[in-house]
Amino acid sequence: MSTDDAEPIKTPLTLKDGVDFAIIEHLFFAYRDFTSDPDAILAEYGFGRAHHRVLHFVNRRPGLTVAELLDVLRITKQSLARVLKQLIDGGYIVQVQGPRDRRQRELYPTEQGRDLALALALPQSRRINAALQEAQLADSAVIERFLRALVNPELRAQMDKLPNGRSEP
């Protein structure tokens, strides 16, 4: 398939090749540093990024069911089970039997869980605010619209189910 003497290409891939590589890289570096602050806090608790995600959405939509959480995270129940169990055992999340459908388990944060979620979000919030200022952006609406537009259209409805979205007037 590949010849024995594959020639090295010495010219860098640039904008001229029809693709904006700078933005692609910026997203990579930005996301990496954006997640680094909560990662450091989580490590103190013996938790990882997966725990953060679960804790975040349970705090953002208290009472959501396991199935709804799986739908938001797009992972399997086996993956969720591991981290959810640890969060429940640690007293960060509690399960309540569904009122109408008793098969369901509604997930709620405890006070402890809320505190941790807030502590994890704080450095991210500060980083975002600093970046908005640095980029001389008065408010975050432009960024939010752009990020939302990056998401697959089918999945955007899901984002609207979360509080303080742009859906209400």
Partner DNA sequence: AATTTATGTCAGCCTTGTTGACATATTTTG
Partner DNA sequence: CAAAATATGTCAACAAGGCTGACATAAATT
Site for a copy of itself in 62-101 (CB under 8 A): 62-63, 74, 90-91, 94, 96
Q: What is the C-alpha to C-alpha distance for residues 24 and 150, in angstroms, rounded to an integer?
A: 12
Is 47 a residue that touches DNA (CB under 7 A)? yes
Shortest Cβ 61–DNA spacing (Å): 13
Is 49 a residue that touches DNA (CB under 7 A)? yes
Helices (H), the chain: 21-45, 49-60, 66-73, 77-89, 111-134, 141-150, 153-160
Choose the stretch contacting DNA; rule: CB under 7 A; options: 15-23, 74-82, 120-128, 154-162.
74-82
Is 32 a residue that touches DNA (CB under 7 A)? no
Give the residue with the Cβ less far from a copy of itself, 83 or 121.
121
Is 79 a residue that touches DNA (CB under 7 A)? yes
Q: Does residue 74 contact residue 53 with C-beta atoms inside 8 Å?
A: no
Q: Fill in the amino acid letter for 59.
A: N
- Binds a copy of itself by CB under 8 A, chosen from 149, 157, 168, 169: 149
The bridge status of strand 64-65 relative to strand 93-97 is: unpaired
Among 48, 73, 56, 31, CA closest to 114: 56
Burial class (CB in 10 A: 0-12, 13-18, 19+), 108: middle
Shortest Cβ 50–DNA spacing (Å): 3
Interacting residues with DNA (CB under 7 A) = 46-51, 53, 65-67, 74-79, 81-85, 95, 98, 100-105
